[in-house]
Amino acid sequence: MRGIVIGAGRGQRLMPTTADAPKCFTDIGGDRILDLVLSAMRGGGVDPITFVGGYRIDDVSGAYPELDLVHNERWATTNILGSLMCAAHRMDDGFVSSYADIVYRRDAVARLLAAPGDIVLVVDTDWRRRYEGRTQHPPTDAEKVLCADGRVLRVHRDIDPDAAHGEFIGVAKFTAAGSRALQAAYASARARCGHGAFREAADLDRAYLIQLLQDMLEAGAVVGHVDTHGGYHEIDTQQDYDFVRRAHAQGERWG
């Protein structure tokens, strides 16, 4: 199954690290974040891989000529969902999507591919431990999920942390049928909202993937989940970067 890595944004909260390089080039123990993402995806059975870039995309194309690159020319004014949908022409046979500012392990990807269901999310059930002392990115920012009987019931930042099953890590599988459902939901949202507000976002271009997923859930979509107990980090702020480098120094590994 194809992979689609969403990495168009600049990563303003990781400045000055991203002043002269894409966010996914951030170094962790001698590997870039993107190296670890590609290793986890390929090691889990995902290939070929499309990279949706924007900020300093020429750096990515120069360093990774084997990647299928899609350019989000409006990267400065779009969010995760808008960047993902730039690769809609690569989705027909199904795909695994991944944020480009996270590190995780290949076993989670392998289990994701093996899981039944047309739309399946990877969820970290050990998520609260990673938020201890994380003042620049508190639990209220986490893309939390409520689950029951193997299904995701809700995905939203405002879920009570005590009620959450875990945090969506940013890796999801869409089969061909799941991809069709995603694209139909996006087209429906565009027709409904135009360039006006979509859920909590100012407009659909600035929306997060989880906002469209929640829209789909409310319309009756069936979304499954595969759990990982840790083995995942997000690198969104300098504080996050310090945390993940400390975890690496203590022997934790990803990819």
CATH number at residue 90: 3.90.550.10
Residue numbers of the domain that contains 59:
2-249
Residue 10 has a pLDDT of: 87
Asked whether residue 57 is domain-assigned, the answer is yes
Query: Is residue 144 in some structural domain?
Result: yes
Query: Parallel, antiparallel, or unpaired for β 27-28 and 31-32?
Result: antiparallel
Distances (CA, A) of 189 to 95, 154, 205: 21, 18, 11
**Residue 255 covered by a domain:** no
Residue 38: per-residue pLDDT: 98
Quick one: pLDDT at residue 42?
98
pLDDT for 123 equals 98
Domain assignment present for 254: no
Facing residues of 125 across strands?
none
Q: 226 in a domain, yes or no?
A: yes
The widest CA-to-CA distance across the chain, in whole angstroms, is: 50
**Would residue 19 count as lying in a domain?**
yes
Residue 209 maps to a domain: yes
- C-alpha dihedral, 195 to 199 to 202 to 203, nearest 10°: -30
**What three-state secondary structure class fits 145?**
strand
Q: Give domain status of residue 61, yes or no.
A: yes
- Number of domains into which the chain is organized: 1
Per the structure block, which two tokens stand in for 198?
């979509």
Q: State the residue for tokens 């949908």.
A: 85
pLDDT, one tens digit for every residue, the chain (255 residues) = 999 999 999 887 787 878 889 999 999 999 999 999 999 999 999 999 999 999 999 999 999 999 999 999 999 999 999 999 999 999 999 999 999 999 999 999 999 999 999 999 999 999 999 999 999 989 999 999 999 999 999 999 999 999 999 999 999 999 999 999 999 999 999 999 999 999 999 999 999 999 999 999 999 999 999 999 999 999 999 999 999 999 999 999 999
